[in-house]
Amino acid sequence: MKFENPAKDNPIDQLTVVGQPHDRIDGPLKTTGTAHYAYEWHDEQPDAAYGYVVGAAIAKGRIQSIDLSAAEKAAGVITIVTAENAGHLGKGEKNPAKLLGGPEIDHYHQAIAVVVAQTFEQARAAAELISVDYHRERGRYDLACEKPSVSTPPEDEPDKSVGDFASAFAAAAIQLDATYTTPDQSHMAMEPHASMAAWNGDKLTVWTSNQMVDWCRSDLSLTLKLPKENVRVISPYIGGGFGGKLFVRSDALLAALGARAAKRPVKIALQRPLIPNNTTHRPATIQHIQIGTDNTGRINAISHESWSGNVAGGPPETAVQQSELLYAGAHRHTGLRLAELDLPEGNAMRAPGEAPGLMALEIAIDEIAEKAGVDPIEFRVINDTQVDPANPERFFSRRQLVECLRTGAEHFGWQHRNPKPAQVRDGRWLVGIGVAAGFRNNMVMKSGARVHLDAQGIVTVETDMTDIGTGSYTIIAQTAAEMLGVPLESVVVRLGDSDFPVSAGSGGQWGANSSTAGVYAACVKLREAIANTLGFDANTAVFADGQIKFGARTAQLSDAASGGKLSVEDSIEFGDLEKTFQQSTFAAHFVEVGVDVATGETRVRRMLAVCAAGRILNPKTARSQVIGAMTMGVGAALMEELAVDTRLGYFVNHDLAAYEVPVHADIPAQEVIFLDDTDPVSSPMKAKGVGELGLCGVSAAIANAVYNATGVRVRNYPITLDKLLKHLPELI
């Protein structure tokens, strides 16, 4: 199905099942332990051996020699795979660094060997016996030191300019010129990167934890030099990914190599200390923002430049993209700068680009608003735009930022906020309120599905879409139930198998909207097949209560499959509507914090997110996504930071004991309001993504609340107490 024009009325608009707060249909499986995660397919491969990954102990250099003799003689060892005996490997399109290093080392904890043994304990013990002699080379590990030498944009990310920023900024009545930093961050999903692999001749099956099944399959085939049709990837349940499992990683490759060498299935779970350095992370940024306004606070000039680092061939953190679209301003400039570093690979982490970009931009907006003497919400309102500032003929398909701000202000009690910092006390706590705009572009991707109807009236949906805890099973079932007029209980959803039609996958906030649109397309075709079989006109017939009806005539849907199961397949393919309309999602985030006047400890007291993200397919699962994202925003603002050893080139705090994330005690009352919204330009579902929008802007709202509480402006995340403490004694 081609989606080339804005959606008109269709069966989804009935909202009998879609749009309702149904419980997750996979919930009972997960709460009873019967949902199989990547490491748990014991019944499928009961004789699986265990692999243990050895990571490089240097960040840059080469392996001079590797002695496996003691490890090979250890109890239970079946085989050991290194780059020397793995055969010639290719490299996936989405892997800047090799997944199996040697002799050259690209980054710390790059996999250099996998030990396969009868038990996990035996594999781990044998791995300790491997002796490696390295030649360490000097590397580049400090973005701040490399920044002066990074003066040109990446080839595929040119600067974008409108008007004459330099002249307009110089002439502005009110100016802000400030630099902000965000640190390296880790996904830290509860489920580690894990895979199990088995060979049947030259055909490979990998059970893995991966958000994008087709990407994984394609890159495995490239790396192993196998025909794509010889690779099957299975990933029905994922215990958290946040972008860290978008791409094939070393666990999947080494499980496949280990299984081939051992001639039996092999399972691997990356040990927790390996994950931050071996997989991917959100790169640190240095962001320079300049804003110039007139005396009323209207922006005339805005510039946002961001520096980030990565391994050779890795992408920049696109932290300036929201600044191209969020606020008006005739004279504009954005630019990305990329330093080649010898740190582990940087790549997508929940809301890549906008999450760290808004951490800086939305502090800067508060700062310039204060300079202009304008309330922070009113400043954002007067600088709202309904068109793409770089192309005024291109309108936003839907833009409700002002409504998000107004609704949130009323609900949160913004009118009671004291605009003068450090004025509100609650015992030992200085109390402040902050706001920030949220923004995330709405992206869509081609997505396919296969739908069956059997003689019992059961509808089965098959697609390689994944569920990373977001509720994909449920919203896909709701879509099929709505389209075919059957109860939710009559729909079976099968996900995460490369034998199924290729979907959008889970990433970039495109998954829910795109995958349900693909199911919509397949269901349109199934409606036609049912109608043709039973002698109805699909365009006029009504599908409801497990029946197809027109006028006085009624038939059971199951009758259409009485002669055999009906099966159809289709995909949604998106046209060029993005050329005519800018599609984005918007939010307003409000936070109240308390800062201990003596210790600088910051506590979040309450939070509110007001979101405009098209039709909400399931308010219950969408709310779960947003509050989870808000929680990540607390972590990013107050505690999350991968500490870089700039001498040896690795992340020091590479486990959950040392890399701090919020716990339940850190998160008080959270509220979410979804504005009534549909966007027919987005898809037949008239929906958009919301799972990443819930993060975008949260950290800045916390930073702005801390400033309102204390009068201390922190521009370098995370906002730890040491950055506040030296300024607080004078307030006691």
Residues designated catalytic: 692
The tokens describing 151, both together, are 């003066």
**37 CB-near residues (< 8 Å, 6+ apart):** 191, 194, 209, 237, 238, 239
Tokens 């005539």, residue? 553
Tokens 């991968």, residue? 642
544 neighbors 473 (Cβ within 8 angstroms):
no
The tokens describing 718, both together, are 């995370």
Which H, E and C letters describe 667-695, residue by residue?
Answer: CCEEEEEECCCCCCCCCCCCECCCCCCCC
Q: What is the spatial distance between Cα 706 and Cα 710, in angstroms, rounded to a whole number?
A: 6
Q: What is the spatial distance between Cα 314 and Cα 316, in angstroms, rounded to a whole number?
A: 7
Q: What is the DSSP string of 154-213?
A: -TTS--EEES-HHHHHHH-SEEEEEEEEE--B----SSPPEEEEEEETTEEEEEE--S-H
337 neighbors 150 (Cβ within 8 angstroms):
yes
Q: What is the spatial distance between Cα 584 and Cα 688, in angstroms, rounded to a whole number?
A: 8
Q: What is the spatial distance between Cα 568 and Cα 338, in angstroms, rounded to a whole number?
A: 46
Strand order across the 111-117 sheet:
77-82, 111-117, 49-55, 266-269, 194-200, 203-208, 231-234
The tokens describing 58, both together, are 């240097």
Q: Give the closest residue to 120 by CA, choosing from 48, 53, 50.
A: 50
Strands 391-396 and 387-388: antiparallel
Compute φ and ψ for 409, nearest 5 degrees.
-60, -45
Residue 71 has a CB neighbour count (10 Å cut-off) of 22
* 214 to 66, 233, 517: CA distances (angstroms): 35, 8, 18
Q: Give the closest residue to 521 by CA, choosing from 684, 387, 368, 410.
A: 684
Q: What is the spatial distance between Cα 501 and Cα 129, in angstroms, rounded to a whole number?
A: 45
Q: Give the closest residue to 105 by CA, choosing from 77, 139, 78.
A: 139
User: What single DSSP character describes residue 727?
Assistant: T
- Most distant CA atoms of the chain, gap in Å: 83
